[in-house]
Amino acid sequence: MNRTPDIYQLNALENLLDIESTIPRKSNAENRLISYSHIFRDKNKAVEFARNIRLGAGESLTGGYTIDSIGRLWWLGVQLDSFEQWQNNGGYHRAAMQDPEIPGNQML
């Protein structure tokens, strides 16, 4: 059954967002078992967004931050126990087509 993250999962995510980590790419997603990722320039917006992610069995929140030429950015994702458990193991990115932070900007 899908559920939104509880307070313990959100607190754990906030701690992960303080750890420098590369952004997951489709080419290395299988190695890291990350089915979804989204990037933010504001850590608080990442946590707010995470509150609305619905997690299924074998899914948990993950994330981190990195730095590019503009500055720090945070990413959050859904990590899987295994791709075999996931109902749609052919997919990678389950985000909206429009970037919620930049209206009119196509994400895919």
User: What are the structural domain ranges in the chain?
Assistant: 1-108
Confidence bin at 101 (pLDDT 50/70/90): low
What span, in angstroms and rounded, lies between the C-alpha atoms of 97 and 95?
A: 6
* Higher-confidence position of 13 and 34: 13
* Higher-confidence position of 105 and 5: 5
Strands 59-67 and 34-40: unpaired
Q: Could you give the residue ranges of the DSSP H alpha helices within the chain? A: 7-16, 29-32, 43-50
Residue 81 per-residue DSSP state: S
Structure tokens at 100: 């919620």
